[in-house]
Structure 1
Amino acid sequence: MLMLIKEILPVISMSLIVSMSSTVIAAVSGITIGVLVGLRDFKMKRLIVRLLETLMSTPPVLMGLLVYLLISRKGVLGSLELLFSPTAMIIAQVLLVFPIITGLTISSVEKQGREIKKNCEVLGASKTKTVLTIISEMKGQLLTIIATGFGRAISEVGAVMMVGGNIKDHTRVMTTYIALETGKGNFEGAIIIGGILLVISLIINTILHKFKGSEINEY
């Protein structure tokens, strides 16, 4: 059991590092773009929304293949030698999570953000202040969106296995560990990691509900 714990600790830490990093990057960029696009009407908006919806349903393995082709030795970014590294896994997960966060943010802002924008304009707030106010007022919805993106990232298997290589003590994460150990018949390790995944999801949802609760109490 002690050996098993020593084996899975690096897997858990790598999974959290990769998933949290990709979620933060996707959230910062996705929420910013989502708010700006959601507040405006322009010719290309419908095309952008449709593209995001398409990317939201893109099979992770396909996204992994695209990243693999980009960073492989013969790829455009091959000289950076990113293949089979945590960085490559983060890139793949960002591309998977970004459309989800951006698309859901646009949808939420179109429903509630525009009314907040009108109120800010009446009060003479600047554009920057308006955007920050919208983000603050929609904190609960945005936290839910971020949690959805994180759930997609930490549960990903195909893309991270393709670009990360599932290398022990280097790029192995919880989902790829479960897939590998189940194939080997090591159900004990797979079940433990599966339980840890559930605990992490529970912790994230608990934190989310606390933030929502504090937001409700403010009113």
Structure 2
Amino acid sequence: MAKQPFTVVYEDNHLLVVNKHAGVLVQGDHTGDKTLTDYCKAYIAEKYDKPGAVFLHPVHRIDRPVSGLVVFARTSKALERMMVLFKKREVHKVYWAIVKKRPKEEIGKLTHYLKKDESRNVTTAYDKEVEGSKRAELDYKRLGKLNDHWLVEVRPKTGRPHQIRVQLAAMGCPIRGDLRYGFSKPNPDASINLHAFHLIFVHPVKKEKLYLRAALPEEAFWEQYLDFEKVKAQDQHLGNTFSG
């Protein structure tokens, strides 16, 4: 099978969860570039020798320059139930971000009102509610410093467009490589150092609790931060604690 821009993290008859490489679109846009959905449909068709159209739908999205976990539903029942879990905020999400500036608090909470300009594909954070804005919340923790950059663990409570990127930038800590939200220079591969690291949720059909983890990108700058990973996927307290 040809090399794919993802690795499979979890797979059964209902779900496909993959670790997406940075730079790959989850769903189509104006560029017309091949998407993660396209690649994953081709993977399913080839692996299971499925003729005709493959049912596979992403349940959520992460931004193109971001790496990490993306959940696909393989049946309409799983899709419907997973959408409900996300809507009810019963999917626990953990991200790792690398920033240049030291976050002021070791452990903090950010609340903003975000408004997206669809024409420019840019989200703006406001301290108070403005017309057309939506409330966004996240918790964060500084995990440590390495090579003049800080590793921050982020746990979003809401799922707004560009939420983590714009909220960290709003506190003066844009993510490494994220020119759109104020970082000074791009990464060589056009990625940003934001990784969807863990997902925890109850399987929509089997009703088992899943603890899913996406390995950090195989890239030198990321790999040096492996030393900070103190909690592995089997840690049953992950839903309540930070990794540090």
Q: TM-score scaled by structure 1?
A: 0.30
Q: Which has the higher helix share?
A: 1
Structure (1 or 2) with the greater strand fraction = 2
Structure 2-normalised TM-score?
A: 0.28
Identify the structure with bigger relative contact order (alpha carbons < 8 Å, sequence gap 6+): 1
